[in-house]
Amino acid sequence: MKFTLLPERLAIVRLERDAEIPSWATGRFASITRTPDELSIVCEQAAVPRDARASRGWRCLALHGPFDLNATGVAAEFTTILARERVSVFVIATYDTDYVLVSNDSVESAIAALERAGHTVVSS
């Protein structure tokens, strides 16, 4: 598999389930998910208000796709590699591919683990 390390520094934000999608939830990379329990937003951390309930300091490894929606084991393969290295992940799936968020403190360990397992990681 091939990954690209995106340049953005990201934040994972939790809002109340009935919250409006905020105007700051934009940028080159943004993911918005509403569930019955919450509104989760992943976007550039510089855009997130200081008082927001957020986890900051995430980097994104974009998996080169597209992958068939019926493909099995794609996320399991890379998350298993990272789990062995004790790298926590936050995975976002889209129609075409997967995005793996790792903390800025763990990004070098994550890249090294993926490369040792035979995967390629490039910077954008």
Q: Do residues 89 and 114 make contact, with C-beta atoms less than 8 angstroms apart? A: no
User: What does the pLDDT average to over 50-66?
Assistant: 94
Domain extent for 57: 2-123
What average pLDDT is seen over the chain? 94
The whole-model pTM stands at 0.90
pLDDT at 74: 80
In 3D space, the residue among 89, 81, 97, 76 whose CA is nearest the CA of residue 29 turns out to be 97
Q: How confident is the model at residue 92 (pLDDT cuts 50, 70, 90)?
A: very high
Q: Tell me, what CATH number does 109's domain have?
A: 3.30.2130.10
Q: Do residues 29 and 42 make contact, with C-beta atoms less than 8 angstroms apart? A: yes
Number of domains within the chain: 1
